[in-house]
Amino acid sequence: MKRICENTMKAEFPSLSCNESLARSLISAFVMQLNPTVSELADIKCAVSEAVTNCTVHAYRDSVGTILMTAKSYSDRTVRIEIKDRGCGIEDVTRAMEPLYTTDRESERSGLGFTVMESFCDKLRVISKPKKGTKVTLIKTLSKICSAT
C-alpha cells in the first residue's frame, strides 16, 4: 500500500522558552485528528518539546532566532515532524547524540535531549551544518484504530 500524505502543518515562531508550550499545543492539535492513544500523544509532545528546547538553548545561545516546525500525517498513521533552526549548528552530530554529551556545562544541562527524542519516536534524524543550522526529523507511527464491534 502506497503511503499518502493526508495533511500538513507549518508554524514559525521565535526561539523563546515560552514557545516550547506553543509547539506542544500545536503538535497536539495536529495529531489529535488521528485519534492517538494518550501515551502516543504524550510521546510526541515530549519529543517536540525537547527539539524546540534544543533550538532555544543551543542553536541561538544568547540570542533569539526563528524555529520552523512542520508536520505531516500519512495514510499509514505515520506522523513526520521537522524542527529546523538557522542557528550555530552542530560540529559533530554523532557525538552530540551520545547520552550525557553537552556543550553547555555552565547551565548544568544533562545532555539527554536527543536520547529523549529518540526514546519517544520510531525514528530520529539529525542533519546539521556549523553556522547554518540544524534540522531534527521525528517520525512516529501511531497504532491502528480499533473499531467497536
Active site residues: 50, 54, 109
- Which one-letter DSSP state was computed for residue 2? -
The count of residues in the chain is: 149
How far apart (Å, rounded) are the C-alpha atoms in residues 46 and 138? Answer: 11
Compute the Cα dihedral for 85, 91, 92, 97 and give only its sign. Answer: negative
Side-chain-side CA neighbours of 84 within 13 Å: the count stands at: 12
Alpha carbon separation from 73 to 7, 9, 65, 67, 91 (Å, rounded)? 5, 9, 27, 20, 31
Q: Where are the beta strands (DSSP E) in 1-149?
A: 5-14, 66-74, 78-85, 123-129, 133-141
